[in-house]
Structure 1
Amino acid sequence: MGNKQSQESLASSKSDIRPLDVKKCISIKRDPVTGKLIGVPKEWASHLDADQQQIVETNRLPEEVRTHKLPECIQEIQNSTQNQKNLQQELKIDTNADLCLAGLNVEIEKEIYNSGISRNEIQKDTLNFISILEIYDGKELSFKQNFNEVTQTEFLIENPAQKYIFNEQIERGVNCKLYKIIDRQLNKVLVAKVFKFHENFNCYRLKREISLIQHLDCPCIVKYHEAYLYSGCFFIVQEYMKFGNLRKLIRVFDKKIDESIIGYILYQIMLGLKYLHFKGKIHKHLNSKKVLINEKGEVKLLIMDYKIEFKKDKDPYWIAPETLEQQIIEEISDIWCLGIIGYELSEGDPPYFDQHPIRVMYNIINLPPPKINKQRSKIFQDFTQLCLIKDHEKRTSLKELMKHEFIIQNKESGRQRLIELIKRMSQDQRSKLKKSTSLK
């Protein structure tokens, strides 16, 4: 009797067991006929004697057994070439040469002709023109910087796809891509900028940049998380700002942005600069593409500039005159950039936007400071003029600008109007921007 009960109990327990109600996993076997492996994950198949007809797509399996991989289009970055134009030798004044300069290579000489700069213009101020060409060619500039806080930084040498899901590509450039990513554990949305490592890459310089910004903690500065070096690429992980950069907003609402919104944006930029300058740091590359916005109306500065590591600066519109003339960057240089952003918010584009980069830099040195439209308010005109004083020793300080009437009137009221402006953007406009915008 007891034996019968135990058998019934066993049968009952067996009925509750569902052999197929388990998580699917990878099971590799060898085909007895062909001798090839069956059930090999697709990512491993090329390294094993696998039956290509019976490989496993791991992205269809549960998260625990999935083989995480990077997006295939990252291969485009790995295969990209570095298109650098070098001056090759030191430039010298030579009045007998066609362009008054000795040491020009063919490519740079062609760029000068394309810029429309004449021999007479070069001859008027040849030393400054040499400085322009060196900056155009990618020369690293000197700047005042506090290195006391620099700590050793190392890249993570592992597959970032193990930690992050690469959700979608947001933007792309010649040698870089921007991805929206999701932290697998925290389910947090971040962004990863991916660009190629090459043998001439200045790793020390990138580590130094990261060391300088990794401990920054300010609501007006985009938060850095971590960096990877994997599969021939760098992956820089940072805070995600849903709307993107300020340049996008300007392009959509060309010359139609209300002054209250402009005042609010400029004030937020200044708060970020105030924190940086207090920490003994300089932005160095401030422009509308380095100002990011989210749907909450938050405005934050993107500090690091990876572009200079793999591609020449072809956006000189925001560069301060002293940077071009003396190849120096100081705290006050950030104020000139702030003024150009104010000009851009008013007029739709920075000054000389339709001209060749070499001509733009020549104009910044040789022409009077740009002025915004007279239809704008007097206090807005005055604010931009105080930012755009060419002599950096006489330029208005950040402290004084934060007390300017234009900022006092608009620093609070503009946020809600900015949120409303972002909401007004149609899906078509967003899609158009997404397709046309590239990382420079």
Structure 2
Amino acid sequence: MSTTTLHNLEAVLSRHELVGKGSFGEVFKGIDQRTNRIVAIKIIDLEKAEDEIDDIQQEIMILSQCDSPFITKYFGSYLRNSKLWIIMEYLGGGSASDLMKAGPLEEMHIAIILREVLRGLDYLHGELKLHRDVKAANILLSEHGDVKLADFGVAGQLTATISKRNTFTGTPFWMAPEVIKQSSYDFKADIWSLGITAIELAKGEPPNSKIHPMKVLVLIVQSNAPQLDGEFTKPFKEFVDICLNKDPQHRLPAKELLKHPFIKKAKRNYLLVDLIDRYLNWKLEKVEVENSNYDEATLSSMSTIPDWNLTIKEETRENSDTIITNNEEISNGVLNSLCDILDNLNKTDTDLKNAFKASESSCPGICDNFVHKLVKTLQPSISDRRMEEVMEKIRTESKIMPNCDILFDQL
């Protein structure tokens, strides 16, 4: 990872308000004092992100190699003690996911956003790069309506000789079937994710968003491809169908999808500015309401504080009985709440076990892979004795994982 070490980093880059959280750190709005340019500063504590170092390196490598108006620009990275500062282009219009918080998007706006994302994917794929996490939250906009792909924490590089990957990466709801099955996949996996993103932009959420992610993985593999239903135009629905063909061989590449009638008729980017203004106004109003509610709550709590009374009184039997009764009521309330919580936990535990069984049935070996990664992540942070307890628990209960003992011997 090529970075510059600066001890007087604050003199070069002034950090302002927190604007979000990325894959592995917090993102701040800041100013590069050397150029007076507004930038986004992603600050990562490498000591806390030890397990993600490879992914951080991957994000920096991909960003540093990209030069496209449809990809977020990378300006450099700086190391100060254990903190890594990644300096990127600041896009103040929010994400496509943010825009939907202020209200639904019109088809006209969706077409513009998808066209710009396709241009970004066409560039990436031409550079033998996969994004592998295309979704509305990773599509950023400037205040002027520029649309750019962002968040390359899981992006992948293909080579001319190794043209397909087989790693299990992405966000479940947007994952292509071939990625879930861990079979070889290529650029067409991004096209599937784009199709899911199109439905997300139209409906406000991806298909199956109310279902547990582990169950969704099974559904994506075993069920028919999602479709865009509702009152949308025929070209839009056809575009989604082309992206969501379960056979990647029949999915069109980004370059061909740019010629689709739905995309070809997309209007100029400036039409997104009203949408961005709507979101920024909504965001401002939300902050004002929250501040107002906080002030009212503070005043209310202050007005109910009784005057100091330092007179010491002997506690009567009557007062004592009242206290006991109140304590019993509180205890009963706590017990009832705990029972409700335990019931929910038991239900969640059962749902999770069923989801694992369904996943293993659909994709043999996926649970072994999952537990292997989980245990490797836990190892540095818990004691050997506790790790043995965790392993023994999994050995006892994971009949769905035939290779479990082999896995633990390796660890």
- State TM-score, norm by structure 1: 0.58
> Residue 247 of structure 1 aligns to which amino acid in structure 2?
S
| Rg comparison, structure with higher value | 1
Assess if the C-alpha contact under 8 Å between 1:221 and 1:301 holds in 2. yes
- Name which of 187, 201, 206 aligns with 2:56: 206
Within 2, Cα distance between the matches of 1:343 and 1:383?
11
Assess if the C-alpha contact under 8 Å between 1:386 and 1:396 holds in 2. yes
SS at match of 1:368: coil
> What displacement does 1:155 show?
4.9
Within 1, Cα distance between the matches of 2:55 and 2:170?
20
1:277 aligned to 2:125?
A: yes
SS at match of 1:241: coil
Aligned to 1:23: none
Aligned to 1:286: 134
Aligned to 1:298: 146
> Residue 368 of structure 1 aligns to which amino acid in structure 2?
N
Aligned to 1:264: 112
Report the number of matched residues. Answer: 278
Aligned to 1:417: 271
SS at match of 1:244: coil
Structure number having the greater helix percentage: 2
The C-alpha deviation readout for 1:251-309, integer Å capped at 9, x for no partner, is 3223xx2212111111100111111111111112211111100111100111522799x
The C-alpha deviation readout for 1:144-175, integer Å capped at 9, x for no partner, is xxxxxxxx623535453231111111124796
Within 2, Cα distance between the matches of 1:435 and 1:334?
39
- Name which of 283, 288, 292 aligns with 1:429: 283
Give the alignment of 1:37-56 within 5 angstroms: none
Aligned to 2:19: 170
Aligned to 1:353: 209
> Residue 265 of structure 1 aligns to which amino acid in structure 2?
I
1:408 aligned to 2:279?
A: no
Within 2, Cα distance between the matches of 1:172 and 1:399?
32
Aligned to 2:298: none
- In structure 2, stretches of 5+ residues that fail to align are 157-167, 291-411
> What displacement does 1:397 show?
2.2
Percentage identity across paired residues of the two chains: 29
Q: Using a 3 Å threshold, how does the CA distance of structure 1 residues 315 and 326 change in structure 2: closer, same or farther? A: closer
Aligned to 2:341: none
> Residue 373 of structure 1 aligns to which amino acid in structure 2?
D
SS at match of 1:372: coil
1:340 aligned to 2:340?
A: no
Within 2, Cα distance between the matches of 1:355 and 1:433?
31
Q: What is the RMSD of the two structures over their aligned residues, measured on CA atoms?
A: 2.9
> What displacement does 1:362 show?
1.9
> What displacement does 1:341 show?
1.1
Q: Using a 3 Å threshold, how does the CA distance of structure 1 residues 278 and 395 change in structure 2: closer, same or farther? A: same
- Name which of 214, 219, 239 aligns with 1:363: 219
The C-alpha deviation readout for 1:108-145, integer Å capped at 9, x for no partner, is xxxxxxxxxxxxxxxxxxxxxxxxxxxxxxxxxxxxxx
Assess if the C-alpha contact under 8 Å between 2:27 and 2:43 holds in 1. yes
Q: Using a 3 Å threshold, how does the CA distance of structure 1 residues 273 and 351 change in structure 2: closer, same or farther? A: same
1:235 aligned to 2:123?
A: no
Aligned to 2:249: 393
Within 1, Cα distance between the matches of 2:288 and 2:5?
30
Q: Does 1 or 2 have the higher relative contact order (CA < 8 Å, sep 6+)?
A: 1
Within 1, Cα distance between the matches of 2:134 and 2:288?
22
Assess if the C-alpha contact under 8 Å between 2:22 and 2:151 holds in 1. no
> What displacement does 1:394 show?
1.9
